[in-house]
Each structure stands twice: as C-alpha cells, then as structure tokens.
C-alpha cells in the first residue's frame, strides 16, 4: 500500500466569481427557507394562504432549492478544482448568468402564471392544467429549467475539458491506474476524483433532462406528439436524482480539502477511496428506479436493481467518507471553530440521512411509505444537515478574518440552533411519515397537526440560525477574497 | 407495522452514527503526532465495520426481496377468486367499479388514470397506509390486497396532481358479507 503523508497546500481566497455564486446561493437559500417555513406553517394551520399558494410555493421551493444547491456545490468544486486544473472563468460566469435568467423565468411562471406542477413536472401534468395556469406559464417554467440545465452543461463540459487536458482521460482522473494496476501513491487528489465523478454523471443527467424538457415543450405546442408517461417519469427522475445527488458530491470537496488543513493529516485518494468513487459514479446513475418502486408496470428487474443499489450506495458514504472524517479528526488536536464544526456536522448529516433513505428504498417499506412525509424527512436530513452544512462550513472558512479568531457567542448559538433545529425539523417529517402523513398536501387532517406544529417551530430555528450564518458571511466578503492561511494548526502539532 | 420497524431502525442507525461522531469529537482534543499507527488501527476497525455491514445489511436486503408486492409475485396472499376493483384516477376524484369488498378474500385493484399521474393509497380506519400503487395514464398497475379487518378504508391520492390533490379521497367498505 502506498504511503500518504500530509502536505500543506497554500490557501487561496475565493475569486469574485466564486463569491458571486456563493452570494446568490446564500440569498436564494434564505428566501427558499422562508418559503419552506411558510409551507410548514400552512400545513400546521397557523397561517392560511390557501392551496393555490401552497402548491405554487412548493413548486418554487423545490426548483429553487435544487437550483441553488447546484450553484453552491459548483462554487465549492470550482474553487478547489482550480488548484489543479485550468478552468475557464468566463464559462463559469456564463453558467451563473444563465442560472439567473432561468430563475427569473421560473419565478415569472409561478408568481405571474400561477404554474404549480411541482419541480418534478411529471408528464403530462404541465399541459393538463385544468385551467389553473396557461400553456405559456408551463413553457416558461420548463424553458427556465432548460436554460439552467444548459448553463450547467456548459460548465461541466469546460471542467471535462480541463480535467482531460491535465490528466489525459477520465479513467486516469478517477485514478484507475492506481486502483486497478499499481498504487504508486500518485493518484489524483480527492478533489479531482470527485469532480470527475460529478462531471461524468451530471453531463449524462443533464442531457437526459434537457431531452425530456425539450420533448415536453414540443408536446405542449404539438399535442399530437405524445410521450410515454413511464418513459417521461424515468427520464425526469434519472435527471433529478443525479443532479441533486451531485450537489452533495460537489460540496463534500470542501470537507476533503479543509479538514486536512485543520488536522494536518492527509486525506488522500488511496485504493479504497478510488474504488468507492468509481462505484458511486455507477451507482448514482443506476439507482434511479428507486423512485419508481410503486410503478408496478415498470420492468421488475430494474426495480429490484434500484432496491439493491440503494443498500450498496450507503457503504461508501458510511465506510469511506463518513469514516474518513472520523479517522483524521480522532486524536488530531483539531481546533473547533465554526468552519470545522459545520464541516464535521455535515458528514454526520449526510451519513445519518442515508439511513432512513436506504430503508425507504426497500420495496416492501416503500409500499407503505412512498410519498409520505418520510421522503422529505430523509432528503432534508442529508441536504439540509449535510449538503447545506458543508456550504455553511465553507463560507465560514472563506470568511475567517484570521487564523485564530475568537468567535462570538452568537455564531456558536447559531451553530447549535441550526443543529438542533434541523434535527427536530427532519425528525418531525420522519415521524409524520411513520404515521402515514402524505407528502405534498396543502391541507392536513386534524390528527396530523401536532407534527406540523413541532416541525414549524424547529424550521423557524433553522431559518433564524441560517440568517446569522449568511449575514456573517456577507459582512466578511472582503476577507473571503484574500489569500492567507485560514486553518489554525492543531493543538500540539509540530509546526 | 412496517412503518414502526422503519422508524425504530432508522432511529437506532442514526443514533449509532451520532455516537460515532460524538465519540470522535470528544476524543479530538489531544493530538497523537504519529498518524501511522492510528491509521493502521482505524483501517482494521474499518474492515470490521465493513464486514458487519455486509453481514447485517446483506441478509436484510435479500430477505426484504422475498415478498414483493408486485402482482402475482406476492407470496402468501390468500387463495380464492379475487374481487376485482377497477380504480381510475381523475383530476380530482377516484372512480371505483365497486366500493364494497369482503374481508379475508383477496381483492385485485386494477389501477390506472384517465389524465395525469395519481397515486392509489389505501388507508385503514386508523389512517395508516396499508398498500399503494401509482395510477399512471396508459398503464394498469395491479395491486393485490387481502383485508383482514372490517371497517371503512379510505383511498388517498399519493402522487401530486394539482390544486385538489389533498382532497382526492374516496372510501371502500370492508365487511364480512
Ligand atoms: C428551513 C429549511 C427548510 C424548510 C422549512 C423546508 C420545508 C419544506 C416543506 C414544508 C416541504 C414540503 C413537504 C411536503 O411534501 O409536504 C419541502 C419540500 C422540499 N424541500 Fe424543503 N425545506 C427546507 C430546506 C430545504 C433545503 C435546504 C433543500 C435542498 C437543498 C430543500 C429541498 C426541498 C425539495 C426538493 C422539496 C420537494 C418539493 C416537492 O415535493 O415538490 N428544502 N421543504
Ligand atoms: Cu390525484
Ligand atoms: Cu394527487
């Protein structure tokens, strides 16, 4: 086995582009969290917006959150990948510009056109509006998604180009020579391996997504061009699953890059690491039938494949990435500050959320839990307590005014508020799912209200804590752009 | 029942993950400079963890595949002629060919949709979901279920279908003839 030692890499500040990404992501994130809170309050019957507003907000929240998760993940990946390969800042900015255009189209479609077919826009719902929205509103929404997709596709193509220019091909960038032939200790760094994986799966996912969007746009204006609803559903979930999961695989790069700087211990791409990322590349693409487990007419072998990969998929998360973080932190003398705390928490959130997720992917469980609140229960765990915590850790890191800073009680209170709020919020979803509360219901039955009320309270705590994180970041944008060492040496570490 | 198991199991597993992270956080303060021996030990523990996962999750994964709810593949469902219920989803109501069935005799729901995707979820008298399948236009999903208790069951829509999705409820009475 090759031996890996820690080497210090100098710490770069964020470019203006990365800061623009993060600023956009943080602002939209807060707004969408407020929208989420409104939905929860509506379900708890504390406020009364009406079903129309609820479903419009639900569509906005779903599309908005998935979109900014992509933007924030891309910012993390681009920031660190730039250390190893030559990326194009112009294409990076083009993606953000297209994103903003797409967002404007989506907001227009929902707010002015009253479109509310959910971010999953299942065929043929957008065209069967029952008079609730116009054809133009549906076209604007799907067109907006398409524009955003094209932006991301451009960015990933540029990343693919840069990786191939430096490493020759994807197989080398995934470390296959080290994995399959001989581990000479010179595998590409984790950031490159992860970026390659994300680039491969997202290019495939985005092409599939753009195809179904285009097909549905054609169908909108040429109804005689019909689409098989099962094919449409498969394509939408393939794209949706890949894209949202890729946001986690991008954001986790922050953990791979930053925790070693705090612990002065290596997190290198050894064979187990490489094997797990290559496996994840395949699994994230072939797991999508787990969204169709209740479509009994879907080919059964694919459903069983979804079930099995659901189990396999937890192994790399737990045994490689989660465990890897535990390894380098254990007896490391790490100094806990907001950045290191949030990054450590994020891997807990990811690993913990994977538990109810794979259980849901069990066909016999899915039979009585599919499309209950169990589902938002597990995905909010790994997205909010996992992916978003990674991003918050990253912005605290970038914004650190100096290597050693005394943090105010306010930030620390916000950390614990976020942690407990997010746990309470997701557990209230999971518990409601256990009690068979259906998801995506504007109006809940009286016996469901207690979970909604508890959930609202915890959600408010999450929003308040996140507000503090984001305001802190906005007040530190100057520091975030400068080059200097941010991670403090571990206690007792040899300098 | 299944829901209870899923919940308890999730809580146990999530707690185990939390304990792992908590244990390491508590033991993070004092540095051991030489990482190599720590790493060696950690890799050994990781192998054990991996094989434990394989030993526990592997059988669970296979065992849960033995009784799939798909059509005729469901083992153990009662013999005898099935009572057929044709169920069609519409925006926003259920059309059922009959709304009374007999207990302890298999019921075969043939579920489809006349417009967009809906979900056919059967709730018992305590409002717990006992069975479901999707209602997709152009496809018929066959759901076999044998009711073992009398009462009024409710059909709820389990796939988002628009403004009245949450109102798309219907009833089925189960009796003993
Ligand atoms: C304060 C934080 C948040 C709150 C209060 C919140 C609240 C909600 C609520 C109430 C729902 C609808 C549940 C239902 O089906 O009845 C929902 C759905 C959803 N949320 Fe969140 N959420 C939050 C954060 C996030 C984050 C961080 C993400 C992703 C990064 C996210 C992504 C989604 C998605 C994709 C849906 C599904 C929408 C749909 O069913 O069409 N949420 N959220
Ligand atoms: Cu419906
Ligand atoms: Cu519905």
One domain for residues B107 and B168 = yes
One domain for residues B94 and B155 = yes
Contact B131, B148 (CB under 8 A): no
One domain for residues B59 and B129 = no
Is B24 a domain residue?
Answer: yes
Is B106 a domain residue?
Answer: yes
One domain for residues B91 and B20 = no
One domain for residues B146 and B108 = yes
One domain for residues B35 and B114 = no
B115-141 tens-digit pLDDT: 999 999 999 999 999 999 999 999 999
Q: What is the pLDDT of residue B82?
A: 84
Is B107 a domain residue?
Answer: yes
One domain for residues B38 and B94 = no
Show me where the domains of chain A are located.
16-480
Domain of B39 in residue numbering reads as: 2-63
Q: Which two tokens stand for residue A302?
A: 């694919």
* Cα–chain center distance at A51: 28
Is B70 a domain residue?
Answer: no
Is B21 a domain residue?
Answer: yes
Kindly determine whether residue A51 and residue B30, on different chains, have CB atoms separated by under 8 Å: no
CATH number for the domain harbouring residue B163: 2.60.40.420
Query: Cβ contacts (< 8 Å) between A344 and chain B: which residues?
Result: 21, 25
List per-residue pLDDT tens for chain A, 495 residues long: 456 778 888 889 999 999 999 999 999 999 999 999 999 999 999 999 999 999 999 999 999 999 999 999 999 999 999 999 999 999 999 999 999 999 999 999 999 999 999 999 999 999 999 999 999 999 999 999 999 999 999 999 999 999 999 999 999 999 999 999 998 888 999 999 999 999 999 999 999 999 999 999 999 999 999 999 999 999 999 999 999 999 999 999 999 999 999 999 999 899 999 999 999 999 999 999 999 999 999 999 999 999 999 999 998 888 899 999 999 999 999 999 999 999 999 999 999 999 999 999 999 999 999 999 999 999 999 999 999 999 999 999 999 988 888 889 999 999 999 999 999 999 999 999 999 999 999 999 999 999 999 999 999 999 999 999 999 999 999 999 999 989 988 888 875
Separation between Cα atoms, residue A33 and residue A70, nearest integer Å: 16
Confidence (pTM) = 0.96
Does the Cβ of A33 fall within 6 Å of ligand 1?
yes
Which residues touch A434 (CB under 8 Å, ≥6 apart)? Answer: A369, A374, B3, B4, B6, B7
What's the rounded mean pLDDT across residues B86-105? Answer: 95
The residue out of B63, B93, B111 marking a domain boundary is B63
Contact A391, A251 (CB under 8 A): yes
Q: How far is the CA of A409 from the centre of ligand 3 (A)?
A: 46
One domain for residues B14 and B88 = no
Interface test with B, best of A4, A308, A436, A451 (most B CBs within 10 A): A436
- Token look-up 């003993």 returns B176
Q: Does domain A16-480 have CATH number 1.20.210.10?
A: yes
Is B103 a domain residue?
Answer: yes
- Which has the higher per-residue pLDDT, B25 or A318? B25
The percent of residues in chain B predicted with pLDDT above 90, rounded, is 85
Q: What is the pLDDT of residue A5?
A: 78
The percent of residues in chain B predicted with pLDDT above 70, rounded, is 94
- Token look-up 């928490």 returns A345
Q: How far is the CA of A27 from the centre of ligand 1 (A)?
A: 16
C-alpha dihedral sign at A309, A314, A315, A321:
positive
Q: Which two tokens stand for residue B146?
A: 């044998």
Check if A432 contacts B (Cβ < 8 Å): no
Residues present in chain A in total = 495
One domain for residues B39 and B106 = no
One domain for residues B90 and B169 = yes
Q: Please identify among residues 13-52 of chain B the ones whose CB lies closer than 8 Å to any CB of chain A.
A: 13-14, 17-18, 20-21, 24-25, 27-33, 35, 38-39, 42, 46, 49-50
Separation between Cα atoms, residue A104 and residue A8, nearest integer Å: 42
Kindly determine whether residue A492 and residue B30, on different chains, have CB atoms separated by under 8 Å: yes
Is B113 a domain residue?
Answer: yes
Is B72 a domain residue?
Answer: no
> In this structure, what are the phi and psi dihedrals at residue B95, rounded to the nearest 5 degrees?
-110, 115
Q: What is the pLDDT of residue A495?
A: 58
One domain for residues B103 and B136 = yes
Half-sphere exposure of A321 (CA within 13 A, CB side): 32
Q: Number of structural domains, chain B?
A: 2
One domain for residues B90 and B157 = yes
* Cα–chain center distance at B168: 21
Q: How many CB atoms lie under 10 A from the CB of residue A479?
A: 17
């Amino acid at each position: 086995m090759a031996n890996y030692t820690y080497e210090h890499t100098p710490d770069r500040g964020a470019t203006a582009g990365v800061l623009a990404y993060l600023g956009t992501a943080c602002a939209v994130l807060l707004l969408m969290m407020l929208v989420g809170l409104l939905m929860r309050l509506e379900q708890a019957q504390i406020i009364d917006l009406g079903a129309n507003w609820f479903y419009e907000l639900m569509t906005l929240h779903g599309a908005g959150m998935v979109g900014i998760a992509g933007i924030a993940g891309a910012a993390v990946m681009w920031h660190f990948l730039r250390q190893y390969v030559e990326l194009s800042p112009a294409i990076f900015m083009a993606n953000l510009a297209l994103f903003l255009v797409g967002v404007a189209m989506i907001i227009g479609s929902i707010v002015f056109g009253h479109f509310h077919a959910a971010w999953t826009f299942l065929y043929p719902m957008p065209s069967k509006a029952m008079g609730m929205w116009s054809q133009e509103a549906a076209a604007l929404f799907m067109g907006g998604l398409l524009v955003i997709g094209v932006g991301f596709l451009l960015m990933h193509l540029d990343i693919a180009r840069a990786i191939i220019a430096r490493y020759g091909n994807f197989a080398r960038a995934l470390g296959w020579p080290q994995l399959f032939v001989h581990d000479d200790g010179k595998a590409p760094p984790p950031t490159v391996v992860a970026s390659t994986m994300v680039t491969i799966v997202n290019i495939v996912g985005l092409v599939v997504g753009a195809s179904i969007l285009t097909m549905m746009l054609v169908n909108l204006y040429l109804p005689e061009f019909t689409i098989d609803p099962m094919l449409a559903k498969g394509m939408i979930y393939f794209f949706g699953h890949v894209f949202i999961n890729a946001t986690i695989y991008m954001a986790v790069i922050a953990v791979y890059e930053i925790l070693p700087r705090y612990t002065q211990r290596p997190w290198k791409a050894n064979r187990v690491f490489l094997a797990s990322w290559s496996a994840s590349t395949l699994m994230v693409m072939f797991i999508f039938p787990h969204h169709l487990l209740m479509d009994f007419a879907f080919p059964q072998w694919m459903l069983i494949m979804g079930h099995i990969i659901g189990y396999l998929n937890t192994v790399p998360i737990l045994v490689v990435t989660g465990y890897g973080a535990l390894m380098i932190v254990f007896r490391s003398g790490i100094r806990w500050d907001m950045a290191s705390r949030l990054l450590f928490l994020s891997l807990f959130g990811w690993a913990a959320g994977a538990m109810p997720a794979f259980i849901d992917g069990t066909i016999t469980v899915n039979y009585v839990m599919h499309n209950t609140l169990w589902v938002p229960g597990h995905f909010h765990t790994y997205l909010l307590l996992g992916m978003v915590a990674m991003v918050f850790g990253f912005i605290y890191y970038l914004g650190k005014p100096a290597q050693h800073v005394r943090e105010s009680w306010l930030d620390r209170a916000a950390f614990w508020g976020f942690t407990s709020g997010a746990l309470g919020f997701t557990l209230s979803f999971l518990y409601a799912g256990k009690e068979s509360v259906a998801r995506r219901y504007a109006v809940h039955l009286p016996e469901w209200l207690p979970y909604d009320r508890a959930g609202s309270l915890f959600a408010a705590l999450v929003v308040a804590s996140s507000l503090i994180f984001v305001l802190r970041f906005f007040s530190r944008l100057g520091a975030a752009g400068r080059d200097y060492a941010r991670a403090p040496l571990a206690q007792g570490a040899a300098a | 029942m299944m829901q209870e198991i899923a919940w308890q199991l999730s809580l146990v597993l999530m707690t185990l993950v939390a304990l792992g992270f908590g244990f390491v956080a508590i033991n993070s303060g004092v540095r051991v400079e030489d990482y190599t021996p720590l790493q060696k030990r950690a890799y050994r523990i990781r192998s054990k963890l991996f094989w434990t996962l394989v030993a526990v999750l592997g059988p669970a994964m296979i065992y849960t595949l033995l009784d799939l709810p798909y059509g005729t593949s469901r083992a153990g469902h009662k013999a005898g002629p099935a009572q057929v219920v044709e169920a069609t989803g519409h925006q926003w109501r259920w059309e059922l060919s009959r709304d009374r069935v007999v207990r302890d005799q298999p019921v075969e729901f043939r579920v489809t949709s006349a417009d967009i995707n809906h979900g056919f979820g059967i709730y018992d008298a305590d409002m717990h979901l006992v069975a479901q399948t999707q209602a997709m236009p152009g496809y018929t999903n066959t759901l076999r279920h044998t009711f073992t208790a009398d009462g009024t069951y409710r059909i709820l829509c389990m796939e988002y279908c628009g403004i009245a999705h949450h109102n798309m409820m219907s009833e089925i009475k189960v009796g003993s003839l």
